Amino acid sequence: MNAPVRNENLQLVSGNHAVAWGVKLVSPDVAPLYPITPQTPIFEKLVDFQSDNLLSTRLITPESEHSAMAAAIAASATGARVFTATSSQGLLLMHELLHYAAGARLPIVMFNVNRTPAAPWGFWPDQIDSLAQRDTGWVQLYSETPQESLDSTVQAFRIAEASNLPVMVNHDAFYVSHAVEPVSIPAADLVQSYVPKSVRELRLDTGLGHTIGAPIGQEGWNRSRRQMDAAMQTITGLTHEAGQEWEKLTGRSYGPLETYRTDGAEMVFITMGSMAGTAREAVDVLHQKGIKAGLIRVRLFRPLPIAELSTALAEIPRALVLDRNYSPGMGGVLHQELLAGLFGINNPPCIHGFLAGVGGVNVPVEALEKLATEYRNAEPDNNPIWVD
């Protein structure tokens, strides 16, 4: 995947620095930022760009992620293009304001580095921080590689500004955030033509006099959610469109889902983020052993692209969902979402849920091979299964 195009500017950068490159190329007006491991390299790289006069974005460095998101909301409401980044505790501290940002229909782009929340303290890849924000009204994308993190950061602005919904892009702590790979850095004018700045109609402006967020009656509040629902329904299409247009410019294509060797597959792994790399390799190994396995990587988690998933799974009898997260009392979040989202479709696959890699523990290719072999003929079980 991601075949290099000619004349490209390849640089060896980490996942987090790739995000900062994406931000630099988009050139937001305002970026409130607060440091947190393992997000901090995004913050520091943006400061470096600014110090070298390569970035004109106005950085705000408040005392907490809560204030960072509050400043992001207010700047966006004033009509600015806004970026921020966080992780784990920081994202959880922002929770109240995530609802506000989406409810006020502000196209903020945030990068979140998926990390375990306390207690106990840990700094390890786990997606529960962002999955716990699924009901806030933010679009959520999950990235697998540093290149994708750059590309998704840029695409997120396009999706956000077309829908007036905030977009959160996520990648796994360390496995992606600190993984150093050759990343193709697009030209600034290419990015600017892809996400041209526009003036938003509804903004705080002395010439307009709009007030934003004032108390409203039940019907008005209800209407605001119906409008969000309508906007959410455009996101899958916008994600397709953003990926296709990006492919025309860079040769790299993206959609709500990525499928790998799913044609004629007897079973597929379904997962998000860096786990897809392990699963892809397991698919190849399984093919050598005569098991027709495939992979569906969910890139767009909110809104969940149910129609795309139904189509992708139409001929596939069995799905093994790999969740690097744990929702206590229920199991893996993606597993539960797929059970709910796919309920009632024609020829539904037999879906198994696995808690694989919770807290960042390593899940080797062999572990997935073993799962595929063990569950090749198993009855479905809605209880979560912990993977050793």
Partner 1 sequence: MKDTSYKDEGQFCSGHVACAGCAEALSMRVILNAVGEDAVGVVVPSCVAIILGGHPTSSARIPFIHGVLESAAAMASGVKQALVAQGKEDTTVLCLAGDGGTYDIGLQALSSAAERNEDILYICFDNEGYMNTGGQKSSSTPRAAATGSTPHGKTTRKKNLIEILAAHRIPYIATASTSHLPDLAAKVEKAKTIRGMKVIIVVIPCLPGWGVADNAVAKVSRLAVESGVFPLIEVEDGLKYTMNVDEKTQPIGPYLDQQKRYRHLSNEDREGLQLDVDESWNRLVEMADR
Binding site for partner 1 (CB under 8 A): 29-30, 32, 58, 60-64, 66-68, 70-80, 82, 96-97, 100, 204-206, 208-217, 220
- For the CA atoms of 80, 249, 176, 110, the dihedral, rounded to the nearest 10 degrees, stands at 10
- How far apart are CB 78 and partner 1 at their closest, in Å? 4
- How far apart are CB 198 and partner 1 at their closest, in Å? 13
Cα dist from 272 to 10, 136, 175, 217, 253, whole Å: 26, 20, 13, 39, 17
Complex with partner 1: residue 68 or 368, whichever CB lies closer: 68
Kind and range of the H or E element at 161? helix 146-163
Q: Report the Cα 104 to chain-centroid distance in Å.
A: 21
Pairing of strands 139-142, 180-185: unpaired
Is 237 in contact with 303 (CB distance < 8 Å)? no
Complex with partner 1: residue 76 or 236, whichever CB lies closer: 76
Is 58 in contact with 28 (CB distance < 8 Å)? no
Tokens of 325: 């997260």
Complex with partner 1: residue 82 or 296, whichever CB lies closer: 82
Is 85 in contact with 198 (CB distance < 8 Å)? no
Complex with partner 1: residue 71 or 313, whichever CB lies closer: 71
Complex with partner 1: residue 212 or 306, whichever CB lies closer: 212
Is 345 in contact with 263 (CB distance < 8 Å)? no
- How far apart are CB 16 and partner 1 at their closest, in Å? 23
- How far apart are CB 101 and partner 1 at their closest, in Å? 11
SS3 assignment, position 43: helix
CB atoms within 10 A of CB 338: 25
- How far apart are CB 70 and partner 1 at their closest, in Å? 3
Is 46 in contact with 57 (CB distance < 8 Å)? yes
Complex with partner 1: residue 29 or 245, whichever CB lies closer: 29
Residues 61-72, buried b or exposed e (16+ Cβ, 10 A)?
eeeebbbbbbbb
Cα dist from 274 to 32, 118, 292, 352, whole Å: 27, 22, 22, 20
Q: State how far the Cα of 170 lies from the Cα of 139, in Å rounded to an integer.
A: 11
Complex with partner 1: residue 3 or 214, whichever CB lies closer: 214
Complex with partner 1: residue 105 or 318, whichever CB lies closer: 105
- How far apart are CB 138 and partner 1 at their closest, in Å? 16
Q: How many CA atoms lie within 13 A of 65 on its CB side?
A: 24
Kind and range of the H or E element at 112? strand 109-114
Strand partners, 296: 259, 270
- How far apart are CB 82 and partner 1 at their closest, in Å? 8
Complex with partner 1: residue 76 or 250, whichever CB lies closer: 76
- How far apart are CB 211 and partner 1 at their closest, in Å? 5
- How far apart are CB 210 and partner 1 at their closest, in Å? 5
Complex with partner 1: residue 100 or 175, whichever CB lies closer: 100
- How far apart are CB 24 and partner 1 at their closest, in Å? 16
Closest residue by Cα to residue 87 from 179, 173, 16: 173
Closest residue by Cα to residue 90 from 115, 60, 109, 121: 115
